[in-house]
Structure 1
């Protein structure tokens, strides 16, 4: 699969983060828009498969097709830039600032949201024949997902908020591992295999992904889900974004940076770790 060694893909991660900081506004928005749209379509596809087969594992197995597609096309997800861009700041790359990082995050958020909303409207039209009938079975399923993952958390108060946050942390631990997976190989097949595995884990486990949720919850509202935009923002999107930042940056970016890029000295290089000389002492002459 033309494997790239960890020190090499660690450097590629930092280089990628640096390039995103200096990307033009137009390019950043277009790439983020397309990423949000493709991932939303993949989520709609996975839910359709789950409803049609009655087996959520099959839906989870097929969902990563969207993730692989968007990264092979060079588009950007918010969860990915949460991990990559801070590494360029941590590495003190010239011209990379906190302001530049936040600019990138803000633009990618706007692009992802616009792309996901576009697909949410399109799919709502399909599921209701242009809003002329009640949602079909798939549309009803999306509405129920929105209720369970907003009001369902709210029902448990602070414990629900903690659960939501941890699910978001775990999500971007896996998703950002998928982002790094695209850098682990120089072949298309190798990139796909490395990306597919962690994305499958996140989707099947029901972790909270801020961009997938940009599709699920607005479309759920459009399809008659019994929750509000405020429920969506407070009891899902905002805590999910915060958890995604922590998960991607802490468990993926910082870990790879600290052990594969800023590697500590080997114990063999320390004088106290060297074995004592085995040369025997001289025997005094008689």
Structure 2
């Protein structure tokens, strides 16, 4: 399969970043909304796969990661805007090709669009489809509750999720870069599959995925069959709320994702290029 050589990838990434800055807020919101919904579709599918018992340790996580890779495929191949991937635009800023204000503007609108798309999908699946009023909804509640600290704001919990998020977006951004290197759809699918499967199976944390997982759990609190099968205590159910979603998860995970993509991929590859001797 043809692909772009490593030495030529960074210029391609920078050019793609510059192109992204030409988009106005409304297209950024719309494309961000689509990307949030696409990640939500993958998260719902992973929830379905995670329902029920599988004897072999790790197999359920592997299968959940395998199907979750669909989300980034839907983002990259048809084209939409995902905030975690857009942290790679940091390389273009370091090179002086885009201004910091423009970079932050892009991130703001894309992040808001991703949030809207993921929560919207969680809402229509929970409220209208009937698919969460049963065992899958119980799994959604368990997943969401596991992402919220058992007590009011916990430093240890948030530090753990910050570190998991660094590892997550390190892998996600490598998947984006490898997909950029691939020159055909088959190559892009393979480039996306393995890193995304790895981050989910490893238990790392992705902010946009959690924008679906946690609201899906919050919405499932209103579904009797989902609630009865979840086995959560009254305290755990009380802790599962929109405020805790931010204080106990999304703030730490978003910061960790930012570090994983902007520093460990975009920043270090940009720096490595600068350290290369002139040819």
- TM-score, normalised to structure 1, is 0.85
- Report how far residue 105 of structure 1 moved: 0.5
Compared CA separation, residues 34 and 179, structure 1 to 2 (3 A): same
Distance 1:122 1:219 in 2: 10
- Report how far residue 52 of structure 1 moved: 5.0
Distance 2:153 2:21 in 1: 39
- Asked whether the 8 Å contact 2:153–2:248 carries over to 1, the reply is no
The answer for the alignment partner of 1:213 in structure 2 is 210
In the alignment, is residue 87 of structure 1 matched against residue 84 of structure 2? no
4+ runs deviating over 6 angstroms: none
Matched residue pairs, number?
Answer: 258
Distance 1:243 1:111 in 2: 19
Distance 1:155 1:113 in 2: 24
Question: Bigger radius of gyration, 1 or 2?
Answer: 1
- Asked whether the 8 Å contact 1:127–1:136 carries over to 2, the reply is no
Compared CA separation, residues 249 and 127, structure 1 to 2 (3 A): same
- Report how far residue 156 of structure 1 moved: 8.9
1:223-259 CA distances to partner (integer Å, 9 max, x unpaired)? Answer: 1154121111000001111000001111111122222
Moved more, 48-57 or 64-73: 48-57
Query: Which ranges in structure 1 are unaligned for 5 or more consecutive residues?
Result: 270-286
Distance 1:86 1:57 in 2: 31
1:260-280 CA distances to partner (integer Å, 9 max, x unpaired)? Answer: x434217xx8xxxxxxxxxxx
- Report how far residue 127 of structure 1 moved: 5.9
Compared CA separation, residues 156 and 103, structure 1 to 2 (3 A): closer
Distance 1:52 1:66 in 2: 22
In the alignment, is residue 185 of structure 1 matched against residue 182 of structure 2? yes
The answer for the alignment partner of 1:75 in structure 2 is 80
Distance 2:65 2:152 in 1: 27
RMSD value over aligned CA atoms? 1.9
Compared CA separation, residues 155 and 163, structure 1 to 2 (3 A): farther
In the alignment, is residue 99 of structure 1 matched against residue 105 of structure 2? no
Distance 2:76 2:110 in 1: 14
- Report how far residue 56 of structure 1 moved: 3.0
- Asked whether the 8 Å contact 1:21–1:101 carries over to 2, the reply is yes
In the alignment, is residue 38 of structure 1 matched against residue 38 of structure 2? yes
- Report SS of the residue matched to 2:158: helix
- TM-score, normalised to structure 2, is 0.87
- Report SS of the residue matched to 1:262: helix
Distance 1:37 1:69 in 2: 10
Distance 1:185 1:214 in 2: 29
The answer for the alignment partner of 1:7 in structure 2 is 7
1:117-172 CA distances to partner (integer Å, 9 max, x unpaired)? Answer: 1110111025647xxxx8211111111111111124x5793222211110011110
In the alignment, is residue 196 of structure 1 matched against residue 193 of structure 2? yes
